């Protein structure tokens, strides 16, 4: 007899799902425009400058790609964990520890090592360190049932403070005259460029293909999906839940660790405490917006990279705070996540007709 009735949908056609998502994105842009108007800004001009600032010239396109690379790889790592309903909020820490592993290799092996070997060893070290940092909360979750959200979040700050300690202490470059800086990597530890952009974009494409295949075409990927949908079903089917949790987080942390290697080698060319640059947190948004699908995540990350690059451009060119692009990002997330409700439930207005026994 209620005026508003909410009923669970049995199944939603793919076409309607796409329409609802597209409508959510359109509404987010409309509401972002309204907020900009309230602030006295011209939304049409702002949106145009964000697009021009991200793809207006070849240099801007390259900068957008450079920002998309770490976001894509980190998103792939987050997708693996989220697919299992393991809320890995520790991407920042795993990226930082991956950079630390890569930095250790770069600073200790020297210039005599051939560049391909050095890069390979840095990638392996980064994946191992990122995987270990993800393994710690995974094993606690598997054996003790701890809250992975808080655990992984707190480990971000442990990783950042640890690298800060190294930067100001044992690893500080003696040649920096007391400035808290770790030595710059030698040339053989720097990612080479291909097509005007460092080869991290190849890593991003490989990571996307790997996660798609891993989730959809491997036994472990199938088990991760089943555990995410229903732990009881997975247990009834005889799956080792603890093993699945640990494997998924090793893969998730390993991919995030590779992001640290890319950023340390290609962007900073050294190790700094702020190496993650919020990519671990932003990847959570892009993973959700892509509905945990690797192919969609690739496109979503490029769009978000455009917003990041465009936000930096309007800050410099127009003197407008880059937080404007954050408003757009936040509203897109709010509306798309809100649309999930309408995909799962049907909302009807009016009084329900009397049921006849």
pLDDT digit string (tens) for 19-38?
Answer: 887 888 888 888 888 988 88
Of the listed ranges 118-122, 166-170, 282-286, 312-316, the least confidently predicted one is 312-316
- Give the pLDDT band (50/70/90) at residue 199: very high
- Give the pLDDT band (50/70/90) at residue 8: confident
- Burial of residue 31 (number of CB atoms within 10 Å: 0-12, 13-18, 19+): middle
pLDDT at 329 over 80: no
- Give the pLDDT band (50/70/90) at residue 1: very low
Q: Are 211 and 80 in contact (CB under 8 A)?
A: yes
∠ Cα 219 221 222 (to 5°)? 65
Neighbouring residues of 202: CB distance < 8 A, sequence distance ≥ 6: 194
For the chain, give the number of residues. 357
Side-chain-side CA neighbours of residue 262 (13 Å): 30
pLDDT digits (tens, 9 = 90+) for 212-269: 999 999 999 999 999 999 889 999 989 999 999 999 999 999 999 999 999 999 999 9
Please, what CATH class does the domain formed by 68-319 belong to?
mainly alpha
Task: Write down the pLDDT at residue 215.
Answer: 96
**Rounded Cα–Cα distance for residues 127 and 137 (Å):** 16
Q: What is the domain partition of the chain in residue ranges? A: 1-41+321-357, 68-319
- Give the pLDDT band (50/70/90) at residue 203: very high
- Give the pLDDT band (50/70/90) at residue 355: very low
């Amino acid at each position: 007899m209620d005026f508003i009735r909410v009923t669970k949908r049995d199944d939603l056609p793919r076409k309607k799902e796409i329409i609802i998502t597209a409508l959510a994105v359109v509404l987010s842009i409309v509401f972002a425009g309204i907020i900009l108007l309230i602030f006295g800004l011209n939304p049409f001009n702002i949106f145009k400058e964000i697009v021009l600032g991200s793809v207006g010239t070849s240099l801007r396109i390259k900068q957008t790609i450079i920002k998309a690379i770490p976001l894509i790889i980190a998103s792939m790592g987050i997708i693996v964990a989220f697919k299992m309903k393991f809320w890995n909020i520790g991407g920042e820490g795993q990226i930082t520890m991956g950079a630390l592993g890569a930095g250790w290799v770069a600073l200790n092996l020297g210039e005599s090592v051939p560049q391909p070997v050095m890069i390979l060893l840095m990638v392996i070290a980064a994946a191992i360190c990122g995987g270990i940092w993800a393994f710690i909360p995974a094993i606690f979750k598997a054996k003790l049932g701890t809250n992975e959200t808080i655990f992984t979040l707190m480990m971000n700050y442990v990783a950042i403070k640890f690298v800060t300690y190294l930067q100001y202490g044992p690893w500080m470059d003696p040649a920096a005259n007391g400035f808290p800086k770790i030595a710059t990597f030698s040339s053989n530890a720097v990612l080479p460029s291909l097509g005007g952009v460092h080869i991290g974009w190849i890593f991003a494409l490989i990571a996307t293909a790997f996660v798609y295949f891993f989730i959809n075409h491997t036994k472990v990927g199938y088990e991760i999906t089943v555990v995410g949908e229903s732990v009881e079903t997975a247990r009834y089917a005889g799956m080792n839940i603890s093993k699945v949790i640990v494997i998924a987080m090793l893969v998730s942390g390993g991919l995030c660790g590779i992001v640290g290697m890319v950023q340390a080698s290609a962007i900073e060319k050294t190790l700094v405490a702020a190496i993650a640059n919020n990519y671990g947190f932003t990847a959570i948004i892009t993973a959700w917006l892509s509905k945990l699908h690797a192919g969609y995540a690739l496109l979503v990350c490029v769009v978000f990279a455009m917003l990041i690059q465009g936000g930096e451009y309007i800050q410099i060119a127009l003197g407008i705070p880059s937080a404007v692009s954050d408003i757009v990002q936040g509203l897109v997330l709010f509306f798309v996540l809100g649309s999930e409700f309408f995909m799962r439930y049907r909302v009807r207005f009016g009084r329900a007709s009397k049921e006849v026994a």
